[in-house]
Amino acid sequence: MEEADLETRKEIEKLIAGETISKPVHEEITYGDIHESKDNLWNFLYFTGYLKKQCEWLEDGTIYMELAIPNMEIRCIYRNTILAWFDRKIGQTDMSSFFQAIDHEDCEGMSDFISNQLLDTISFFDYAENYYHGFLVGLLKASKKYLVSSNRESGMGRTDILLRTPSVRGNAVIIELKTAARFQEMEKKCQEALQQIEEKNYEAELRKEGYSHIAKFGICFYKKECLVRK
């Protein structure tokens, strides 16, 4: 799964979402063959019980099967495997450009970096806001400069994500997330997020603590696209 290409990652996402995929099945497959073909991955997962057969048919002498994840317990194994892979991947990724973009309030740089990371990972939870929240927190926790808080009480509500340096002489960052139902709505959702930051006075606690430089970002996600505004 770590070595999966874009097509294979999309198929894994379909399985985790409860959908099925159609694949040729070869009963003679062995563990040693797993890296020789993309289809061998599905064979291996099927014969070890990590996928189940919904139906099968014969086509040009080859057996094809409709495959699905068997149950919730095994779906959790997929999920935990993907989360562990994501953590390892972030540990090997050069994050310097991302945190420089945050420091310089470079919205385009932040958007591009996050979007590229989304394209290169496996999504689940059907693109719900809590998925993006966890994804972004996972990226931000790689920072050696900022302390990362999530859903913390501030002002008149809860800030989605809050970054701050250990010293109040440094910077603080407020991030509010939104998801869009359509690509064309992303700009509007970013502005709604920024408006929410102001209306609910999310910076109140930071001002009280002594922070004077506070950056505010509204971030919207649509599938594997990210837009950042300030």
Predicted pLDDT of residue 136: 92
Q: What is the pLDDT of residues 37-63, one digit of tens each?
A: 677 788 888 888 999 999 999 888 888
Distance of alpha carbon 38 from alpha carbon 228, whole angstroms? 35
Q: What average pLDDT is seen over the chain?
A: 87
The amino acid sitting at 107 is: C
Distance of alpha carbon 4 from alpha carbon 195, whole angstroms? 40
Predicted pLDDT of residue 51: 94
Distance of alpha carbon 218 from alpha carbon 178, whole angstroms? 8
Q: What is the pLDDT of residues 58-79, one digit of tens each?
A: 888 888 999 999 999 998 888 8
**Is there a single domain that holds both residue 44 and residue 114?**
no
Does this model's pTM top 0.75? My answer is: yes
Stretches in the chain below the pLDDT threshold 50:
none
Q: Is residue 87 assigned to a domain? A: no
Which tokens sit at 104? 């310089």
Predicted pLDDT of residue 76: 87
Handedness of CA 2, 14, 70, 63 (dihedral sign): negative
Alpha helices in the chain (DSSP H): 6-16, 38-47, 72-92, 96-103, 107-119, 129-140, 186-199, 204-209
Q: Is residue 86 assigned to a domain? A: no
Q: Is residue 88 assigned to a domain? A: no
Predicted pLDDT of residue 29: 62
**Is there a single domain that holds both residue 152 and residue 202?**
yes
**Is there a single domain that holds both residue 123 and residue 23?**
no
Predicted pLDDT of residue 206: 92
Q: Is residue 184 assigned to a domain? A: yes
**Is there a single domain that holds both residue 98 and residue 154?**
yes
**Is there a single domain that holds both residue 140 and residue 181?**
yes
Predicted pLDDT of residue 84: 80
**Is there a single domain that holds both residue 149 and residue 217?**
yes
Q: What is the pLDDT of residues 94-116, one digit of tens each?
A: 899 999 999 999 999 999 999 99
Q: Residue 13: how many CA atoms within 13 Å on its side-chain side?
A: 20
Domain that holds residue 166: 93-229
- The domain tally of the chain equals 2
**Is there a single domain that holds both residue 26 and residue 121?**
no
**Is there a single domain that holds both residue 133 and residue 213?**
yes
**Is there a single domain that holds both residue 112 and residue 205?**
yes
Strand order in the sheet with 213-222: 147-154, 157-164, 171-179, 213-222, 225-229
